[in-house]
Structure 1
Amino acid sequence: MGLFDFIRGQFIEVIEWLDDRGIMVHRFPAYDNAIKMGAKLIVRESQTAIFVNEGQIADVFGPGTHTLSTQNLPVLTALNSWKYGFNSPFKSDVYFLNMTNFTDQKWGTTNPVILRDPEFGIIRMRGFGNCSFRISDPVLFLKDIFGTKQELTTTGITGFLKASVVSGISDMIGESKIPVADLASSYDELGRLAIDKLQPNFSAIGLTLTNVTIENLSLPEEVEKMIDRKSSMSIAGNLDDYMKYQTAEAIREAANNPDGGAAGTGAGLGAGMAMGQMMGQMFGQMNGRPAEPSAGGDQRSPQAANAGQPSASGSKKFCSECGSRLNDNAKFCSDCGSKV
């Protein structure tokens, strides 16, 4: 190889960038090599190439194949005071910007956000989701964000974007006054509102926020338990059904505990009925009306209500604890052992 061939090999004749791999900005590795006047600049779709002369942004090229000359490098020509038809190699930094849409960028609250809910008062809330964005103003983005780095990936600005998204969404939810119970049905609407609210922050650095998705807004465990209790009380609003349910539960428990005998059955049944009647009285007072008495007008269990009444066999004694029939001269219950 002659000296002329060696010198010619130092001149860059083709400038292009193929591998993006999530890279937002890539600096073409020219190092100390000079760019040959008349070299080919290949800018692919969804790319923008920018020439920077001594730290100052010069010419910008969109998609296509460009032959570099003084005609299509007007800013660089003016900065270097080149004459028309200048044909010597020159030095310049070349940056390629990826203009595609960067999707599935995660965001989430690092710490719970304190909000005021119209139903539960002051609560703590966490949330997470994802967003998408793209470069809309390559010159502004290169000037304000990139600096002099060799490459910039999405992870390089994730911290800034995450903080901006979380702050904006938290503020938006607080202003919306949507109750916590209705948030799950408003995720799509909140996502669209978030784009409108956050776009000015993204535009200030040359980006466009294309999508915001809210995957989940969660409450602390104690608040979720409170919601569960409230739901249970709403379900138990039909007191008649609730009393029947308590009675059936008492019978089932007694059947599963055969060692308890008749005493266990009577005690469980009485407890179930008493609890149902107690709840009836409580809800009656809450609603401003007295609780309805049972069909016989007696608030005691069936066994206790029949205690002391004659039976078909002529016995008049019943145990007040378990309701078992007793002999007339009995002093202790033969089933539960209670004193008569």
Structure 2
Amino acid sequence: MGLFDWLRGQFIDVIEWLDDSSDTIVYRFPRHENEIKYGAKLIVRPGQKAVFVNEGQIADVLGPGTWQLETKNLPILTDLQHWDHGFTSPFKAEVYFVNTKRFGDLKFGTKTPIIVNDPQLGPVRLKAYGTYEIRIKDPAKILRELSSTDGNFTTEEIEKFLANLILAKLPIVLAKSGISIFDLAKHYDRLGEKIKEELQPYFDDYGVLLEKILLQSISLPKELQKAIDAKGAQNVLGDMQEFIKYKSAQGIEKGGSASDIVGLGAGLYAAKEMFEEKTTPPPLPQEHYYIAMENKPMGPVSKDQLQKMIVQGELKPDTLLWQEGMEQWQRADEVVKELFKKIPPPIDES
């Protein structure tokens, strides 16, 4: 008789799970087709629950403690297996341990921007990132809905699924909150609570309790971030102007000199200059042309350069020009005839 044959012939008399991981949610006790001894000891440690499954049907769920596996402790399994009164034989059943501790530092984040309707700006694209914590509150539901027969179900297998639920509801919560993107950063905690309230009914369907959501950052498009920075600078400048008025009045009351007040204004004006963004317009676009010189195109050159060439006698009226959009080369006096009018006619020496 081989080792495995001998193992199969043994009855299981102690069932327990010593969890040495940080991410296992569901663990199936390895029965190896052995039968469980009637009266065997089941040890369920704090932060665990044991779920008995009989031929695909969820039976009894036992919480922390040491249990003798008898009919009185397994009423559902007793009914499913039709045990008679006084039953003492070994039996077969799958035992799943479900970890009910808190699982933290699970991450969510948007791969692509989501659209949020801002109360001040209207539709805005943004990205959001954060973490969340969960706890299993209904072991039977998570077995039915998510882990099924997976003998080692971990947070990695559920994290992406739950993160997608969070991201699906985030735009709705932000829109309902009425908080503008200008003020989002100081309301992260409040928004986290609102998201949790909105999502818990969906998490209930899977036997999961959403303990906490922490929004860590909400990033905006660069153009919008610049607008927010500008708004902040405007607020600072507005405060400066009020400060100038206050200090000026205070200086007059205390007999301060005019130069003191002027110096204060000059200093704050320099700060204003530092905050305000320079808005000089870009140079106007110029037309450019190609010139036929010795049967070869030369250029591109601007109108100003053409004018200089005409003055210097390098560009004649019959010189051929071309620019983008023209079907063929044309005479210079046809394309830029206004430039030739700026040249004085030759002096009559007679």
- Distance across 2 between alignment mates of 1:234 and 1:49: 60
- In structure 2, give the amino acid aligned to 1:19: D
- The alpha-carbon deviation at position 86 of structure 1 amounts to 1.7
> Are the equivalent residues in 2 in contact too, given 1:236–1:242 (CA < 8 A)?
no
1:89–1:222 Cα change, 3 Å: same
1:242–1:59 Cα change, 3 Å: same
- Distance across 2 between alignment mates of 1:182 and 1:246: 27
- In structure 2, give the amino acid aligned to 1:17: W
Match of 1:28 in 2: 29
> Are the equivalent residues in 2 in contact too, given 1:51–1:92 (CA < 8 A)?
yes
- Distance across 1 between alignment mates of 2:117 and 2:73: 59
Match of 1:81 in 2: 82
- Distance across 1 between alignment mates of 2:87 and 2:105: 47
Q: Does 1:120 align with 2:117?
A: no
- In structure 2, give the amino acid aligned to 1:130: T
Match of 1:210 in 2: 211
Match of 1:327 in 2: none
- List alignment gaps of at least 5 residues for structure 1: 250-271, 280-340
1:246–1:61 Cα change, 3 Å: closer
- The alpha-carbon deviation at position 150 of structure 1 amounts to 1.2
Match of 1:265 in 2: none
1:66–1:183 Cα change, 3 Å: same
- In structure 2, give the amino acid aligned to 1:109: T
- The alpha-carbon deviation at position 191 of structure 1 amounts to 1.1
- In structure 2, give the amino acid aligned to 1:10: Q
1:85–1:216 Cα change, 3 Å: same
Q: Does 1:41 align with 2:16?
A: no
Partner-residue secondary structure (3-state), 2:89: coil
Q: What are the superposed Cα offsets for residues 166-210 of structure 1, whole Å, 9 maximum, x if unpaired?
A: 122221002222111111111111111111111101111111111
- In structure 1, give the amino acid aligned to 2:16: E
Cα-Cα RMSD: 2.9
> Are the equivalent residues in 1 in contact too, given 2:8–2:32 (CA < 8 A)?
no
Match of 1:17 in 2: 17
Q: Describe how 1:144-293 pairs up with structure 2 within 5 A.
A: 144-236=145-237, 238=241, 244=266
- Distance across 1 between alignment mates of 2:132 and 2:166: 9
> Are the equivalent residues in 1 in contact too, given 2:8–2:33 (CA < 8 A)?
no
- Distance across 2 between alignment mates of 1:7 and 1:122: 65
Aligned residues: 249
Length-normalised TM-score, structure 2: 0.65
- Distance across 1 between alignment mates of 2:270 and 2:40: 90
Partner-residue secondary structure (3-state), 1:33: coil
- Distance across 1 between alignment mates of 2:46 and 2:113: 42
- In structure 2, give the amino acid aligned to 1:164: L
- Distance across 1 between alignment mates of 2:34 and 2:10: 6
- In structure 2, give the amino acid aligned to 1:122: P
- List alignment gaps of at least 5 residues for structure 2: 245-261, 280-350
- Distance across 1 between alignment mates of 2:229 and 2:7: 79
> Are the equivalent residues in 1 in contact too, given 2:9–2:34 (CA < 8 A)?
no
- The alpha-carbon deviation at position 8 of structure 1 amounts to 9.4
1:85–1:160 Cα change, 3 Å: same
Q: What are the superposed Cα offsets for residues 143-167 of structure 1, whole Å, 9 maximum, x if unpaired?
A: 1111111111011111210011112
- In structure 2, give the amino acid aligned to 1:144: E
- The alpha-carbon deviation at position 116 of structure 1 amounts to 2.5
1:88–1:186 Cα change, 3 Å: same
- In structure 2, give the amino acid aligned to 1:113: I
Partner-residue secondary structure (3-state), 1:157: helix
- The alpha-carbon deviation at position 106 of structure 1 amounts to 0.8
Partner-residue secondary structure (3-state), 1:29: coil
- In structure 1, give the amino acid aligned to 2:10: Q
Partner-residue secondary structure (3-state), 2:84: coil
- The alpha-carbon deviation at position 227 of structure 1 amounts to 2.1
Partner-residue secondary structure (3-state), 2:174: helix
1:122–1:54 Cα change, 3 Å: same
- Distance across 2 between alignment mates of 1:246 and 1:183: 30
